[in-house]
């Protein structure tokens, strides 16, 4: 108990009470730990509850304070449920009313504070020194005096009272602050966008910049500090509806000053003229740390062709994520977002496809790409050394990665992706081989041609639209022809009907030679299928017999008159004699030579033909008969 004496003032009521109480405790056996613990807790309770408690608090800790401001029904960062907010000299905290994780912020981390109207009343926005923006919404107007006094006394910060622009204008001035992008109208903020909510930005046009907001899957980054740029999408995911993209139109040019040594004649120096939209884009990329990844790049692959989304991207691979760098778009994708990994050889025996299934999907404007499809050449080899220490390679990635690779590029990318992400590589099933010995079947979804691959547990169509179907969800597969024409016998369609009314997928224009391999695969995987082409065989034979009957009836002269429809049919012109040159050539080709003799002979022949025709057309005169 000597530590208690050291924090109590001499001859105070608390000091005298502690001496008398500990004296009563000394005769008790010290082996009874539970009894000692109970008596010590009782002593501390009496010390806290006695009328002379203030002298204990003031001397026990110079940093502690008995005062605390408490507020109920406060929402933290657009949370779904309210909580209780407490502000003390050591910092502030928030706990949800229904129970859950508590948020705390140390007083040394409070940088600035703003007070303004918000959705649920009044909002206290705290700009922290390291964690970004913290929003506390739900205060009453009368709480401003208490908050401003507490922040002034305990943190030495003046709470700034800000009024938002309410004109509804969609043009103004963008201001990049430390933690957020503010859109000001007449020097008043219309709205603010925290950098932590921006996932990507790109140049949508010459003077247009698109800003995409983060969509974080459930449970992802849940342990990151509030407002951190590593916790993207947490605030946006709190509401049922969320804004996913915003576009800014920024016309004109601006003068960009290069960072360097300051000269005496700064006014005379002219900065580089740059498109205003490009400067906005570069500034936002830097502020929001888009594409920034902590740590070194383990491997880089340049100019890799992607079929979905279309374009060429450089791939930078890091410890927990990889980055796609293109001319227009730039993405950072976590390895945790990769749900499926496929390696699919193409039928041309020249290329292979690497397909990544992503959840959440990749977004490019309003288009979502749940699958990332790369196309690589089989004969393209690469020599690569991983930028990784031997210690890290031996401890974390032992038997997963190698220090050096010298083999085809598609195998190198596959092995590194598998080592860093830990995902299993899925390849085509050995139970299916097409008629020509390939793993994929050429077909189409509507007007989009592609390859349909049959895997052990699923079917996948690539490249566009990438379609993935699990075998366990298939109810029945129907094989049928398009229409009843005889020409349709060369190809057929398969319709995959899913269980539970989940819809169906139709794959068209499959070569008739693939029918038997497909049926064998369906039998091997116990997939129920129905062949409607056998039912159509009799109809096709009947259609062929009808065509034969029509031909014989035409020969017998029994063909019905179809009017102008007969004019469309092609027939052989017996009077036509094919020549090497056309009439156009005779008219315009000076080197053309006629095969019928000289011009004089042609003229004589034409005159004789005209006289003969006149005699034939001249009617015979009737003889007069007298009465």
Cβ-Cβ contacts under 8 Å for 483 (sequence gap 6 or more) = none
Provide DSSP, 68-102: -EEEEEEEETT-SS-EEEEEETTEEEEEETT--PP
Mean pLDDT of 409-413: 94
pLDDT at 227: 39
Q: Is 471 within 8 Å of 529 (Cβ atoms)?
A: no
Please tell me whether residue 473 adopts helix, strand or coil conformation.
helix
Q: Is 358 within 8 Å of 337 (Cβ atoms)?
A: yes
Q: Highest-confidence range of 39-43, 518-522, 555-559, by mean pLDDT? A: 518-522
Please tell me whether residue 278 adopts helix, strand or coil conformation.
helix
Confidence category of residue 475, pLDDT binned at 50, 70, 90: very high
Is the pLDDT at 201 greater than 60? The verdict is yes
Q: pLDDT of 225-235, one tens digit each?
A: 443 334 444 55
Confidence category of residue 614, pLDDT binned at 50, 70, 90: very low
User: 163-201 as b/e, with b when 16 or more CB fall inside 10 Å?
Assistant: eebeeeeeebebeeeebbbbbbbeeebbebbbbbbbbbb
Confidence category of residue 596, pLDDT binned at 50, 70, 90: very low
Q: Is 96 within 8 Å of 75 (Cβ atoms)?
A: no
Among the residue ranges 24-38, 369-383, 399-413, the one predicted with the least confidence is 24-38
Mean pLDDT of 459-480: 93
Query: E strand or H helix at 470, and its extent?
Result: strand 467-470
Is the pLDDT at 222 greater than 90? The verdict is no
Q: pLDDT of 265-275, one tens digit each?
A: 444 445 678 88
Asked whether the domain spanning 172-219+226-255+272-292 has the same topology as the one spanning 68-161, the reply is yes
DSSP-assigned letter for residue 622: P
Q: Where do the structural domains in the chain lie, given as residue ranges?
A: 68-161, 172-219+226-255+272-292, 296-427, 429-543
User: Cα–Cα distance between 288 and 300 in angstroms, integer?
Assistant: 23
Is the pLDDT at 425 greater than 90? The verdict is yes
Among the residue ranges 28-32, 344-348, 542-546, the one predicted with the least confidence is 28-32
User: Cα–Cα distance between 190 and 167 in angstroms, integer?
Assistant: 9
User: Cα–Cα distance between 550 and 234 in angstroms, integer?
Assistant: 73
Q: pLDDT of 23-48, one tens digit each?
A: 555 555 554 555 555 566 566 555 55
User: Cα–Cα distance between 428 and 525 in angstroms, integer?
Assistant: 14
Is the pLDDT at 62 greater than 80? The verdict is no
pLDDT at 287: 86
pLDDT at 375: 95
% of residues, the chain, pLDDT over 70: 66
Q: Is 455 within 8 Å of 472 (Cβ atoms)?
A: no
User: Cα–Cα distance between 304 and 375 in angstroms, integer?
Assistant: 8
Confidence category of residue 101, pLDDT binned at 50, 70, 90: confident
Mean pLDDT of 507-513: 92
Output the CATH code of domain 68-161. Answer: 2.30.29.30
Output the CATH code of domain 296-427. Answer: 2.30.29.150
CATH superfamily for domain 172-219+226-255+272-292: Structure-specific recognition protein (SSRP1) (2.30.29.220)
Output the CATH code of domain 429-543. Answer: 2.30.29.30
Among the residue ranges 197-206, 239-248, 609-618, the one predicted with the least confidence is 609-618
Query: Which three-class secondary structure string do you get for 503-546?
Result: CEEEEEEEEHHHHHHHHHHHHHCCCCEEECCCCCHHHHHHHHHH
């Amino acid at each position: 108990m000597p530590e208690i004496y050291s924090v109590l003032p001499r001859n105070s009521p608390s000091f005298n009470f502690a001496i008398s109480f500990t004296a009563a405790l000394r005769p008790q056996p010290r082996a009874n730990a539970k009894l000692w613990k109970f008596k010590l807790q009782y002593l501390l309770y009496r010390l806290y509850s006695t009328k002379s408690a203030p002298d204990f608090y003031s001397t026990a800790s110079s940093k502690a304070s008995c005062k605390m401001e408490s507020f109920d029904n406060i929402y933290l960062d657009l949370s779904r449920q309210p909580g209780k907010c407490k502000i003390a000299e050591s910092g502030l905290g928030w706990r949800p009313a229904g129970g859950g994780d508590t948020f705390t912020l140390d007083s040394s981390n409070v940088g600035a504070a703003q007070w303004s109207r918000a959705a649920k009343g009044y909002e206290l926005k705290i700009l922290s020194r390291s964690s970004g923006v913290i929003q506390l919404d739900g205060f009453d107007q009368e709480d401003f005096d208490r908050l401003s006094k507490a922040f002034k006394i305990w943190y030495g910060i003046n709470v700034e009272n800000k009024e938002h622009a309410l004109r509804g204008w969609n043009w103004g001035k963008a201001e990049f602050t430390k933690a957020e992008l503010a859109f000001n109208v007449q020097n008043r903020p219309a709205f603010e966008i925290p950098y932590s909510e921006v996932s990507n930005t790109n140049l949508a046009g010459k003077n247009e910049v698109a800003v995409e907001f983060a969509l974080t899957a459930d449970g992802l980054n849940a342990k990151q500090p509030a407002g951190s740029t590593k916790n993207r999408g947490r605030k946006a995911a709190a509401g049922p509806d969320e804004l996913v993209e915003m576009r800014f139109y920024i016309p004109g040019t601006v003068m960009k000053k290069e960072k360097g040594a300051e000269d005496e004649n700064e006014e005379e120096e002219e900065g580089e003229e740059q498109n205003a939209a490009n400067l906005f884009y570069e500034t936002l990329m830097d502020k929001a740390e888009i594409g920034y990844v902590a740590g070194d790049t383990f491997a880089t692959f340049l100019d890799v062709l992607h079929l979905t989304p279309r374009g060429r991207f450089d791939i930078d691979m890091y410890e927990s994520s990889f980055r796609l760098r293109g001319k227009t778009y730039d993405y950072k994708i976590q390895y945790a977002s990769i749900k499926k990994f496929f390696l699919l050889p193409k039928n041309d025996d020249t290329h292979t496809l690497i397909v990544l299934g992503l959840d959440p999907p990749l977004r490019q404007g309003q288009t979502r790409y749940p699958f990332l499809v790369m196309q690589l050449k089989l004969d393209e080899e690469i020599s690569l050394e991983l930028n990784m220490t031997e210690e890290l390679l031996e401890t974390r990635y032992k038997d997963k990665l190698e220090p050096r690779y010298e083999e085809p590029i598609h195998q190198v990318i596959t092995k590194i992706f598998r080592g860093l992400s830990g995902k299993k590589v899925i390849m085509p099933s050995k139970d299916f081989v097409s008629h020509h010995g390939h793993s994929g079947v050429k077909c189409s979804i509507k007007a989009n041609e592609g390859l349909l691959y049959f895997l052990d547990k699923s079917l996948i169509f690539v490249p566009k639209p990438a379609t993935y179907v699990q075998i366990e969800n298939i109810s029945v597969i129907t094989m049928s022809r398009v229409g009843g024409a005889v020409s349709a016998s060369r190809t057929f369609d398969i319709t995959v009907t899913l269980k539970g009314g989940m819809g169906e997928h139709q794959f068209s224009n499959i070569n008739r030679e693939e029918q038997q391999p497909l049926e064998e695969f369906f039998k091997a995987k116990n997939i129920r299928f129905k062949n409607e082409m056998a039912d159509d065989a009799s109809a096709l034979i009947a259609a062929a017999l009808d065509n034969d009957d029509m031909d014989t009836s035409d020969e017998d002269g029994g063909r019905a008159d179809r009017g102008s429809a007969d004019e469309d049919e092609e027939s052989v012109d017996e009077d036509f004699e094919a020549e090497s040159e056309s009439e156009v050539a005779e008219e315009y080709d000076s080197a053309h030579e006629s095969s019928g003799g000289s011009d004089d002979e042609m003229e004589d022949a034409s005159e004789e033909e005209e006289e003969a025709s006149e005699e034939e057309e001249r009617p015979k005169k009737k003889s007069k008969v007298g009465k």
